[in-house]
Structure 1
Amino acid sequence: MARKASVSPARRWTLLALKIGLGTAIAGLIAVVIAVVIAMQSLPSFESLKSSPNGQMIRVHAADGSVIVSLGPSYGRWLSYDELPDTMAKAMVSVEDKRFYMHPGVDPIGLVRAGWVAYVRRGEGRRLQGASTITQQVARNIFLNNSYSFGRKLKEMILALALERKFSKRQILELYLNKVYFGGGAYGVDAASRKFFGHPATNLSLGEAAVIAGLVKAPSRYSPTADAEATVGRAGVVLDVMEENGDISRAERASVRLEDVRMAPEKPQDSVRYFTDWVMPQLDTLIDEEQAPLDVYTTLDLKLQRTATAAIRANAPQGVQGALVSLDRDGAVRAMVGGLDYISSNYNRAVTAERQPGSAFKLFVYLTALEAGYTPDTAVKDSPVTINGWSPRNSNGRFAGDIDIRTAFAYSINTVAAKLGMEVGFGSVADMARRFGISTTINTHPSMVLGTSEVRLIDMTRAFASVARKGIAVTPYGITKVATADGETLYEHQDDTSRVLVAPWVAAGMTDLMQTAVNTGTGRAAQIGRPVAGKTGTTSSNKDGWFIGFSSGLTTGVWMGRDDNRPVGVLQGGRAPARAFAQYMKVAVADRPVEQFETEVTLPEWQLEPDDEAYGQPDDAGMQVDADGMPIQPDGGEPEDSAAQPVTPGSAPPAEGEAPQRIDQRWIDQVLGREQRKPAPERPRPPQEAPGGQ
């Protein structure tokens, strides 16, 4: 009987190792299958995966429709597989995963090749690279992160296998092309196409598709905005690979001139950002869409924005900041400048800074007086006055005596403003300011009539715009429409003309006063060759300079001053701010028809024969000046304010800095080009309300 051959120990160990290895492999395979099945069960539906995570793309458009800035991650419009250009899909598959249609989610050939490269270069400290398939990239982008570890790589492979089991190749490629990051904040081919070429991905040429496909490998390195030469070089590699893989012919490759591919210009990031920083937070109050990409259409006129920026920079004295807000007749913001340079300071002085307006605040004093029965021709007296220990004076230290309201406003006479405030009530003046949109705290000390309460430029501009609109409230707005990337309108601005702040005749009277201030008074530097109405403002020690005015349906406010609130010797509202206003407005209204002001004031019947009861007494004329409040020094007048002096009709207006003249109605009408008017009947006054406050 033959003896059984003995098995050598080495062979036994080898067989044992093989059995263990086979068992381990089978166990591992079973574990992977189980993991893949579990992963499949937990995967969301395809529709759920299409939602855009990690933020919302918002494209902000100017009034002409051009995109001025893109905010947040850019996801563009979701393109179905059938909408994707065939060249885009081929370019991406060729350069990123040429065996995409053959592997089950993980590419064994690619793994082996990447492993061999890693082994050969093991001394260089390089990790496993080049082995991720498109499906793995989808898994990583949606479910994982970019941190590198063996555990994360294993999860990525399992998820890729699960994705291949649950979804078709077309669906996976659709997910990939709509979610992969291309740099510059753009996620997906549509966002990348819009950002880099300025048009939807459905219109991509072969050269453009090659540029986009080449970005995935290193978005920051190959981004057109970072290195255009590197972008073109990488796109050439993509085209060569496509030809090698048979996705394009040699003739097609030769026909592409990458140097002719035109990139969309970079959007401006300077002063426009003052506007977008102000307007974008308003979205939360207009719509509740937080995921879908949005197109926000705004009121900003890029030409006027550039003009406004240039006007502020050209006229602001050295070391001084400036701001400008320009509103159309319905409140549309056409230009907004929050400072000299957004890059160095993004603090928006147009909408955030609170500064004393000086005599620009007299708008509310005179509005209150006009509503109480005064007219532009009402006689008043420029004489010394003391109110609860406060004695305002005019900057030249003189008093003009008997003048009218029009002259007092044109030359910003402080004593008259103080007397008017005392008569109509300082509380009433504060109420008028709040009625016209002043949102900051307004004190009711007597000196408030000279603009000692801090205000915002946009609020003051809004108030003047409401006067220009004949007393109808104007609310500044910057968004005209909000729509999804698919074109669905979520919001559209509607003009509201229902709020009437003052009667039309009050607004007309105020316009009369402001037109006179520009034509003959402190605002002459704001003249632009067509009717302008406005008011200057200068605070004590020349810390702030203002000019706010309107013409041809456009209202513009200008402020200048130092951020540290230090005095600026040369700063007066009638100088640099008024000149900046004029420089801007000459361009802004050039294409608008000339509009004459309706300054022939028609009073209501009850005003024609006023009686004492129509006007009442001051609300709070007896209020004490707070010890830490408004200035009570005798030199608290504005540098631009002066007393009026008599002048003969027909004489020229005084030069800047000279004592102003008293102007009779005949001379006013002659300067403004109006027909001669009969003076309005003088408003009767009770003895206790006589000018002078005595």
Structure 2
Amino acid sequence: MEEARPDTASSSSLAARLRRRADGIRERLAPHWDRRWVRWIAIGLGGLMAAFFLFWLIFARGLPDAATLLEYEPPLPTIVRDVNGQPVHSYARERRVQLQYSDYPPLLIRAYLSAEDKTFFDHHGVDIPGFFGAVLDYVTKIGSGQRAKGGSTITQQVAKNLLIGDEYSPTRKVKEMILAYRMEGVLTKQQILELYLNQIFLGRNAYGVQAAARAYFDKDVADLKLHEMAYLAILPKGPANYRPESPTGHQRALERRNWALGEMAKNGWITEAQRSEAMAQPLGTVQAHGSGFDARAGGYYMEEVRRRLIERFGEKAEDGPNSVYAGGLWVRSPYDPKMQELTATALRNGLLRFDAGKGWSGPVGKIDIDRGWQRELAASYVGVDYAGWRVAAVISRDSSSAQIGFADGSAGTLPAGAAQMPYRRAGGPAFSSLKPGDLIVVARNGSSWALRNIPEVSGGMVVEETHSGRIRAMQGGFDSRLSSYNRATQAMRQPGSTIKPFVYAAALDNGMTPASIIVDGPLCVYQGAGLGQKCFRNFSGGSAGPQTMRWGVEQSRNLMTVRAASQTGMDRVVRTIKAMGIGDYQPYLSFALGAGETTVERMVNAYAMLANHGRQLFPKVMDYVQDRHGKVIWPLRWRPCDGCNMPNWDGKPMPRFGFEGRQVMNPMTAYQVVHIAEGVIQRGTATVLADLDRPLFGKTGTTNGPTNVWFVGGSPDLVAGVYIGYDQPRSLGGWAQGGRVAAPIWKAAMAPVLETMPKTPFVAPAGIRMVTIDRRSGKRVYGVWPTDDPKPAVIWEAFKPETEPRRSIRKEEVAAQERAAARREASAQARQRTDSDFLQDQGGIY
């Protein structure tokens, strides 16, 4: 770090002024120079000036340059706006709103001048009488342990707060004076006041007068009344002394406020009538509240925005001018409050439904009851936002009831009869396991309270636009205040059969078609001498013989998937999976059944790319980021849309955004997969969604155990994905399947959203040929049109050019196809014999 240097320009200018004054004194004294007393006075004055100059140089050395305040920018919070442009969240350690000098009412400025520095516009940074009074007070209090009065001007306070620090010593006062003198030569009085009014700490985590006006009166500065202005003006001396919540603080605040009003009247800035009317008013402060944003809104979503902002811009002011907690960033997000509420409610209800009847899972936290339960509970930041539920601390318990307390200081009673659900870890009723200091969840039950349970099982859900990758909603668990672990973006879980569409995509890229016949029959893999053979099975057991690829996807047949992967080559399959951003896996057959790990966000994004005709998407929780001056600083290649706003419209067609990502999958392949996956909704494992009666595609997933259940899918415009499982993976129970558990949650969240959207079909890319085929045999059908029957015998199928089933085929071609199939089967068996790393427990993935 470069060493701080004294302001030599200021020192030299001071020396020049002192020399000029000395020369003037000598000229006046010249006629009387022959008198001895005159010479002694001159010598004394000269020595005094030299001593003062030396003193100035000693204390001025190393002080920062006052000119830096011309570019000073106070720490400001980062504000997040939603998809509608409304502010919904802030990241701040200091609540502050920066205003210009002209934004502050003149009467408010006069209130602060009366309370802090009434001669502000007359002095040059230092109030000499006030300074000597402070020095005298300091001397009389040496050794008493008491702190002397300040005596600092507003300019000195700005110098202390922004340039020096709050060290309590005489040297700091001297440095304050020097810097204040310099500041007055660099900044105007209005600029100094603007810095002061934006910077000072006024309690309730409010920095600056506008933030304090909101914190104490829930008003902007322009709407404050005289008695409110006077109250805010007394706070710089010590906000803790005038806390309106405290009886003693309330009385002190009234007395000090009335004193400030009297000073304003003495200075002629208000009339006696105004003073009397204002003194008759109560303080009128509101109850302390937070930032003004709903802390419950988008908990997991906003935490993900924060993580990504910190990763890009840093957290603290030392990390750069655009840090999250000081840079004053404006973040435009695709966050949709209504969609988020639907997503959170659907996931919570699904978790409660799954967990019902399993007993109480235990307290959600613990505090030290001996250190004051209210303070400890408030400091824990543990909370819940669901159906009127609240987090409470157990204060005491006897045989019939427990006394509980809440963060706001209120208390209540939990009768033993309202806490009788069995404690799943210890057995017996939950009430008998309660201990003082336990944090529990309760709900109002008449005049008392009843115990509620937070599900032990958890999960995550993400909703994403298919054309842009913008994430509209995200829920990573039951409540972010109970656990900040985001299961939508951080939990690495096996996707099970939701991986299968990408296995078949690789097969479609390598010679197969949706009508290709794949044998649904026994398949064994030799894993080496130590492990022997591993034989696969379907989730439901049994086999169905030769079937079309479409049928295999709709019915989620493991044997067909593994055989298709084997014939295609797992190296090609894992390349496809990697290109879609799901994960980077080794070419082992286990990964064709979802043995690899990924996140809900990655799977949703991959399905969105399928709906986007195989074009790459990047999941976005931020559209763009502006600095405090409005300049877009992210994305780096941001380009404004010229002519997009109505005032600038030239009458021509509106501009259209071009494609962002590269093509990572053949668009015809992507459409074929989507078209096949529509059958999963119509007649496959997710028919619970069929009554939504609109074009939808998707895939269920259930991993071995089952430990994880999934559903991922959506419409041409929105894709959503749901995962349910325990944080420490264990069996969910034999009945748990993606179609039974995850798909209903997806439906509850997405049905209200889809109702507001038109029924748009999936559009085929150029080159796709739609052909009528028999759904079970895959043979081409002529003269018969598909019907509206959900399980028709004849359907439209999507084929790439020259791959659709032909009307007739020559015997030589049949023989050639049989030989090619035999070669593929032999090659697949050779690869299977080297697959010694196949996971033993994956035969039951569904």
For the aligned pair, the TM-score class normalised by the smaller chain equals 0.7 to 0.9
Q: Please give the residue correspondences for 1:277-316 in structure 2 after superposition, counting only pairs within 5 Å.
A: 277-281=306-310, 283-284=312-313, 290=322, 293-316=328-351
The answer to whether the 8 Å contact 1:60/1:68 transfers is yes
Q: Please give the residue correspondences for 1:165-314 in structure 2 after superposition, counting only pairs within 5 Å.
A: 166-182=186-202, 187-189=207-209, 213=233, 215-218=235-238, 234=253, 238=257, 241-242=260-261, 244-246=263-265, 247-249=269-271, 254=277, 259=284, 265-268=292-295, 270-281=299-310, 283-284=312-313, 290=322, 293-314=328-349
Partner of 1:379: 517
Partner of 1:542: 706
C-alpha separation in 1, matches of 2:495 and 2:240: 48
Bigger mean CA deviation after superposition, 24-33 or 550-559: 24-33
The answer to whether the 8 Å contact 1:300/1:478 transfers is yes
How far did residue 386 of structure 1 move? 1.3
C-alpha separation in 2, matches of 1:516 and 1:66: 40
How far did residue 314 of structure 1 move? 1.6
C-alpha separation in 2, matches of 1:495 and 1:197: 48
Distance change (3 Å), C-alpha of 1:249 and 1:402: farther
C-alpha separation in 2, matches of 1:266 and 1:348: 21
Q: Which amino acid aligns with 1:336?
A: M
How far did residue 429 of structure 1 move? 1.1
**SS of equivalent to 1:606:** coil
> Is 1:589 aligned to 2:754, yes or no?
yes
Deviations 1:33-62 (A, max 9, x none): 852797499653546443236x66422222
C-alpha separation in 2, matches of 1:208 and 1:614: 88
Q: Which amino acid aligns with 2:605?
A: R
**SS of equivalent to 1:605:** coil
The answer to whether the 8 Å contact 1:105/1:135 transfers is yes
C-alpha separation in 2, matches of 1:235 and 1:32: 46
**SS of equivalent to 1:372:** coil
How far did residue 541 of structure 1 move? 1.1
Partner of 2:740: 575
Distance change (3 Å), C-alpha of 1:197 and 1:542: farther
> Is 1:636 aligned to 2:780, yes or no?
no
Partner of 1:131: 151
How far did residue 433 of structure 1 move? 0.9
The answer to whether the 8 Å contact 1:511/1:533 transfers is yes
The answer to whether the 8 Å contact 2:141/2:148 transfers is no
C-alpha separation in 2, matches of 1:310 and 1:495: 35
How far did residue 85 of structure 1 move? 3.2
Distance change (3 Å), C-alpha of 1:410 and 1:128: same
Partner of 1:446: 589
**SS of equivalent to 1:265:** coil
Unaligned ranges ≥5, structure 1? 1-18, 642-694
The answer to whether the 8 Å contact 1:536/1:547 transfers is yes
How far did residue 340 of structure 1 move? 2.2
Distance change (3 Å), C-alpha of 1:604 and 1:167: closer
TM-score, normalised to structure 2's length? 0.63
State the Cα RMSD in Å.
Answer: 4.3
**1:141 pairs with one of 161, 168, 176:** 161
Deviations 1:362-416 (A, max 9, x none): 1211222233344434333311111333321012321122332222212211101
Partner of 1:674: none
Bigger mean CA deviation after superposition, 91-100 or 73-82: 73-82
The answer to whether the 8 Å contact 1:95/1:238 transfers is no
Distance change (3 Å), C-alpha of 1:379 and 1:72: same
C-alpha separation in 1, matches of 2:71 and 2:677: 59
Partner of 1:461: 604
> Is 1:35 aligned to 2:56, yes or no?
yes
> Is 1:355 aligned to 2:493, yes or no?
yes
Partner of 2:775: none
C-alpha separation in 1, matches of 2:578 and 2:549: 23
Distance change (3 Å), C-alpha of 1:403 and 1:212: farther
> Is 1:97 aligned to 2:235, yes or no?
no
C-alpha separation in 2, matches of 1:111 and 1:128: 12
Bigger mean CA deviation after superposition, 137-146 or 42-51: 42-51
Distance change (3 Å), C-alpha of 1:620 and 1:602: closer
Distance change (3 Å), C-alpha of 1:577 and 1:90: farther
Q: Which amino acid aligns with 1:606?
A: E
How far did residue 153 of structure 1 move? 3.6
The answer to whether the 8 Å contact 2:322/2:627 transfers is no
C-alpha separation in 2, matches of 1:614 and 1:249: 103
Distance change (3 Å), C-alpha of 1:210 and 1:419: farther
The answer to whether the 8 Å contact 1:91/1:242 transfers is yes
C-alpha separation in 2, matches of 1:211 and 1:325: 48
Q: Which amino acid aligns with 2:759?
A: V
Q: Which amino acid aligns with 1:356?
A: Q
C-alpha separation in 2, matches of 1:516 and 1:84: 65
C-alpha separation in 2, matches of 1:525 and 1:178: 57
Q: Which amino acid aligns with 1:52?
A: E
C-alpha separation in 1, matches of 2:123 and 2:492: 65
The answer to whether the 8 Å contact 2:243/2:253 transfers is no
The answer to whether the 8 Å contact 1:517/1:533 transfers is yes
Q: Which amino acid aligns with 1:518?
A: I
Q: Which amino acid aligns with 1:348?
A: N
C-alpha separation in 2, matches of 1:273 and 1:230: 37
Q: Which amino acid aligns with 1:290?
A: N
Distance change (3 Å), C-alpha of 1:84 and 1:56: closer
How far did residue 68 of structure 1 move? 2.8
> Is 1:399 aligned to 2:543, yes or no?
yes
Q: Which amino acid aligns with 1:523?
A: A
C-alpha separation in 1, matches of 2:237 and 2:204: 14
Unaligned ranges ≥5, structure 2? 1-39, 356-454, 527-532, 639-656, 765-795, 807-812
C-alpha separation in 2, matches of 1:441 and 1:334: 27
Partner of 1:675: none
C-alpha separation in 1, matches of 2:117 and 2:295: 37
Bigger mean CA deviation after superposition, 228-237 or 139-148: 228-237
Q: Which amino acid aligns with 1:466?
A: M
**SS of equivalent to 2:755:** coil
How far did residue 478 of structure 1 move? 1.9
How far did residue 326 of structure 1 move? 1.0
How far did residue 431 of structure 1 move? 0.9
Partner of 1:660: none
Partner of 1:51: 72
**SS of equivalent to 1:296:** strand
The answer to whether the 8 Å contact 1:36/1:162 transfers is no
How far did residue 63 of structure 1 move? 1.7
The answer to whether the 8 Å contact 1:75/1:293 transfers is no
How far did residue 216 of structure 1 move? 3.4
Partner of 1:608: 804
> Is 1:324 aligned to 2:461, yes or no?
yes
The answer to whether the 8 Å contact 1:558/1:577 transfers is yes
Bigger mean CA deviation after superposition, 149-158 or 405-414: 149-158
The answer to whether the 8 Å contact 1:376/1:512 transfers is no
TM-score, normalised to structure 1's length? 0.76
How far did residue 182 of structure 1 move? 4.2
How far did residue 565 of structure 1 move? 2.0
How far did residue 244 of structure 1 move? 3.7
Q: Which amino acid aligns with 1:473?
A: Q
C-alpha separation in 2, matches of 1:293 and 1:94: 31
Percent of pairs identical after alignment? 29
Bigger mean CA deviation after superposition, 327-336 or 164-173: 164-173
**2:681 pairs with one of 508, 518, 537:** 518
**SS of equivalent to 2:492:** coil
C-alpha separation in 1, matches of 2:46 and 2:456: 76
Q: Which amino acid aligns with 2:149?
A: Q
The answer to whether the 8 Å contact 1:37/1:162 transfers is no
C-alpha separation in 1, matches of 2:597 and 2:345: 27
Deviations 1:234-273 (A, max 9, x none): 5995476245413344565648887498987343253343
Deviations 1:161-202 (A, max 9, x none): 443455443332222223333456654446666888899867
**2:670 pairs with one of 507, 513, 516:** 507
Distance change (3 Å), C-alpha of 1:51 and 1:393: same
